[in-house]
Structure 1
Amino acid sequence: MSFGATLVAIVAILAWASLRHRRLSARDSVMMPAQPADNTALVREVAALRARVEVLERILTDQRGSVDLAREIESLRER
């Protein structure tokens, strides 16, 4: 093998190894589960958002006066 062919072979092997490493690390990062602390924070945030949606649904569907509506909006701002 000549020096040029050897050099091309080495560069091709390094490029292939680099692409394979990137592909495997990208797949691993997608497959990694969230940390338990992240899960706890997400569960709390989802619960808070559900409570707010319930209040908004109640505001929209109830047939109460504007005073009650203003009170509900203020209670949402306080949270």
Structure 2
Amino acid sequence: MDAGFLALLIPIIGVSIPIVAIWSKHRQKMMEMQIGATAEASAEKAAQYASQIQRLEDRVQVLERIVTDRGYDVATQIEALRDTRQVEEAGSGVPLEIAKKETA
């Protein structure tokens, strides 16, 4: 190595060290911000999932109460609703006169 090349290399190294240090700090801050944003998004999703799970658990509890309640007779109530609906439908509307054709 000659003296001219060494004289040129020393200032280049002297200027590049602070540039690399500044770039490293900037990169570290960017990564920290990205980690913070990811953590915040994960917390929001976890809260949404917890809310959904709570609603589903509440619905399951209601269904369990319905199924285990001895005085609750689902079939009887459904039939009662059907009977009520048939009575209402029979009283309304226009009766159709459909005659059966006799085949001889």
After TM superposition, is the score higher than 0.5?
Answer: no
Q: Determine which structure has greater relative contact order: mean sequence separation of CA pairs < 8 Å that are 6+ residues apart, divided by chain length.
A: 1
Q: Rg larger in 1 or in 2? A: 2
| TM-score with structure 2 setting the length | 0.36
| TM-score with structure 1 setting the length | 0.44
